[in-house]
Structure 1
Amino acid sequence: MNGVKVENLLINYKTLEKFKRFKEYGNQELSMYEDLQNKFIENNSKSPFYGVYIGENLIARMSLYEVDKKYDYYFEPQQDYVAIWKLEVLPDYQGRGYGKTMVDFAKSFTLPIKTSPRINSHGFWEKMGFDKAHYEMERDLGENPLIWLPAGVKEKETHPAE
């Protein structure tokens, strides 16, 4: 998509107002409005929020977190990775490639990516090259995570009980 750019969203009142539109017209369960309020520091330039604008309208957004390898349960050897959280495109703009643009931006970090997709979004993530994570954890977090691996990165393998 020519001319479409993913921007790091400033944490300020203007962004807070843009997020209200998502809460009212987007998917309620994906609202990042409360997340933004919890991290509110006027014009914090290093926010975890990214978005796509058309003119002055924020039409797609996501939270993108870099995770330290000490918290890695998905890749072998343990390594830093990116977690996509709450990717959302406003209904009037869905099916036009904006979600793909957001995912491609996350892939540009050239780190493994983990996401926990919402119900009925597995098809989208599969098109983006994500697969089910295979890992062992002491407890199931109920996430059903999907992962994407850049070239040369290995996923942890599960080992059946002997």
Structure 2
Amino acid sequence: MNDVKVEKLLINYKTLEKFKRFKEYGNQELSMLEDLQSNIVENDSESPFYGIYFGNALVARMSLYKVDKKYDLYFEPAHDYLVLWKLEVLPDYRGNNYGKALVEFAKSYNLPIKTNPRINSQGFWEKMGFQKAKYEMERDFGENPLIWMPDGVNEKDLKSN
């Protein structure tokens, strides 16, 4: 896994073409085409998209958004945190630690991370050290968020309103 490199993906039509390959596999809720299309302005725009290439083929991707602590619904006291959204590895490339490499890249920011498990991925997230968010408020858009805490941020900091 040492030679796996996570790259920031440009917001452009070339990346849009690469994203279409992911949509072929039918995980509509994971489709980032619409997200990318709405963000296409120019190559140097701030991109929330990251990926791993095998040769010239984009084989794994995720989107990663930073949330300012003023919008924090998860921690007390409030923290800046990351939302890791729509992590996906193409079927032929699963089992090569590409998903783990993307998660480790997100963890390298040393901020709390929130994600929502999708399509039988709960076990993967648990192996990556994520735990169920412990707060008593309405569900997170109908989903069950998982939280990862970096060293120095305690689980007791999770809100329990």
TM interval, shorter chain, is over 0.9
Name the amino acid aligned to 2:160.
Answer: T
Give, in angstroms, the shift of residue 76 of structure 1: 1.8
Return 108-117 or 69-78, whichever deviates more: 69-78
Aligned residues: 158
**Residue aligning to 2:160:** 158
Distance 1:135 1:129, change over 3 A: same
1:44 aligns with 2:44: yes
Runs of 4+ in 1 over 4 A off after TM superposition: none
Partner letter of residue 55 of structure 1? G
TM-score (normalizing by structure 1): 0.92
- Percent identity, aligned pairs only? 72
Superposition RMSD in Å:
1.3
Residue type at the aligned position of 2:131: D
Equivalent positions of 1:6-155 (< 5 A) are 6-25=6-25, 27-137=27-137, 139-140=138-139, 141-154=141-154, 155=157
- Distance in 2, Cα, partners of 1:56 & 1:119: 27
For residues 44-99 of structure 1, give each alpha carbon's deviation from its aligned partner in whole angstroms, at most 9, with x where no partner exists: 34200000001110000001000000111111210100000000000001111000
Give the distance between the partners of 1:2 and 1:26, measured in 2 at CA: 30
Q: Is the 8 A contact 2:131 2:148 kept in 1?
A: yes
Q: Check the 8 A contact 1:5/1:52 in 2, yes or no.
A: yes
